[in-house]
């Protein structure tokens, strides 16, 4: 249901460092190389393609309701976004070394071999334009490790010397949220009363259509609930939440109170496309949010699903540009 791919690479030369978090840059190059590998028709607009519903690139990188016209959720016009079954995170660039993680969810894992090819291709394409050398920052992918959070199995999937190494997929749960069942039961036994979200990357959440940098707990939970339901409907990770279940999740999460917050700073995020065009994506915050649970929280059935969603969020992230690594957090309890 979830597989993590940790990429280790080496730049071919010393480049001028990125001025800001390069999540959208990695995401854009990943999409470019995945499309080159996957595309069979060469059409400019994916949604006009006759093989759109069977295309790995469309399913992974440009998910829309066109993938499943019979879907019960998301706009049938295809204009409303569907959660993509991947995220990028843990980007580290030090001198000539680069590493990052790509998470795949659900049905997207069946195209693992194409994703590995795309990751290797990212190095040849390069990351962003280096103003000093006048070229794109190219790198060599030396190794790709895989990790399954459900079974804790891990191994090496690719090296520059041996190439791609096939692996057998172990048993998997019928529902993505089951991946976190054991961890949630441990938390429930502890009867934790506070939960802290430490954001490793900037985040931008919305409440009633407006940016919220100190969001209500329910804003975070319902953002994750919608993402999960989209993955379930379009990418085979289980069953979407029913309307009654979603309302119950919102009722209970609305009783959780924000008790403390630290906003470390704000950052305007500008996305640059491959042609050099720029688009402002909004003002993002970096911070720590602490929430207090009501005394009867763990007596409610929905409490388990809420915490499964929170654990899922450590991989799926919350808010805007989540697939590019924004809204990536770690959970702490007391």
The closest alpha carbon to 149, from 119, 181, 117, 116, belongs to 181
272 by Cβ neighbours in 10 Å (0-12 / 13-18 / 19+) ranks as middle
Per-residue pLDDT of 149-188, as tens digits, reads 999 999 999 999 999 998 877 667 889 999 999 999 999 9
63 by Cβ neighbours in 10 Å (0-12 / 13-18 / 19+) ranks as buried
CA distance 234 to 24: 23
Per-residue pLDDT of 4-38, as tens digits, reads 999 999 999 999 998 888 999 999 999 999 999 99
At residue 201, φ and ψ (nearest 5 deg) are -130, 160
For residue 16, CA distances in Å to 57, 94, 131, 325 come to 31, 11, 7, 22
CA distance 279 to 273: 8
pLDDT at 52 over 90: no
Domain residue ranges of the chain, discontinuous segments joined by +: 2-164, 176-333
Mean pLDDT of 41-56: 86
Q: Is 271 helix (H, G, I), strand (E, B) or coil?
A: strand
17 by Cβ neighbours in 10 Å (0-12 / 13-18 / 19+) ranks as exposed
We find that the CATH architecture of domain 176-333 is 2-Layer Sandwich (3.30)
Mean pLDDT of 74-78: 54
Mean pLDDT of 227-242: 94
CA distance 332 to 334: 7
Mean pLDDT of 253-261: 97
CA distance 25 to 31: 10
Per-residue pLDDT of 108-164, as tens digits, reads 999 999 999 999 999 999 998 899 999 999 999 999 999 999 999 999 999 999 999
């Amino acid at each position: 249901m979830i597989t993590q791919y940790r990429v280790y690479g080496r730049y071919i030369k010393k480049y001028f460092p990125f001025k800001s978090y390069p999540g959208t840059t990695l995401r854009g190059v990943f999409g470019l190389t995945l499309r080159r590998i996957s595309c069979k028709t060469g059409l400019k607009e994916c949604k006009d393609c006759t093989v759109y519903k069977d295309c790995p690139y469309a399913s992974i990188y440009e998910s829309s309701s066109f993938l499943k016209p019979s879907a019960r959720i998301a706009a049938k016009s295809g204009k409303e976004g569907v959660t993509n079954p991947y995220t990028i995170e843990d980007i580290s660039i030090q001198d000539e070394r680069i590493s990052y993680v790509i998470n795949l969810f659900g049905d997207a894992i069946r195209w693992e071999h194409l994703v590995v090819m795309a990751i290797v291709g990212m190095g040849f394409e390069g990351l962003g334009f280096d103003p000093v050398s006048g070229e794109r920052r190219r790198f060599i992918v030396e190794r790709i490790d895989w990790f399954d959070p459900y079974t804790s199995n891990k191994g090496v999937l690719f090296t520059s010397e041996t190439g791609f190494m096939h692996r057998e997929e172990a048993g998997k749960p019928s529902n993505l949220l089951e991946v976190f069942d054991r961890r949630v039961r441990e938390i429930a036994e502890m009867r934790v009363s506070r939960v802290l979200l430490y954001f490793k990357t900037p985040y931008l959440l919305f409440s009633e259509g407006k940016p919220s940098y100190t969001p209500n707990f329910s804003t975070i939970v319902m953002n994750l609930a919608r993402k999960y339901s989209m993955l379930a409907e379009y990418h085979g990770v289980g069953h979407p939440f029913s309307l009654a279940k979603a309302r119950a999740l919102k009722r209970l999460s609305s009783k959780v109170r924000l008790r403390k917050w630290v906003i470390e700073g704000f950052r305007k995020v500008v996305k640059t496309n491959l042609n050099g065009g720029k688009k402002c994506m909004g003002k993002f915050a970096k911070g720590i949010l602490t929430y207090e649970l009501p005394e009867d929280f763990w007596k409610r059935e929905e409490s388990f699903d809420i915490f499964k969603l929170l654990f899922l969020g450590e991989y799926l992230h919350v808010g805007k540009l989540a697939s590019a690594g924004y809204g990536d957090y770690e959970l702490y309890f007391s």
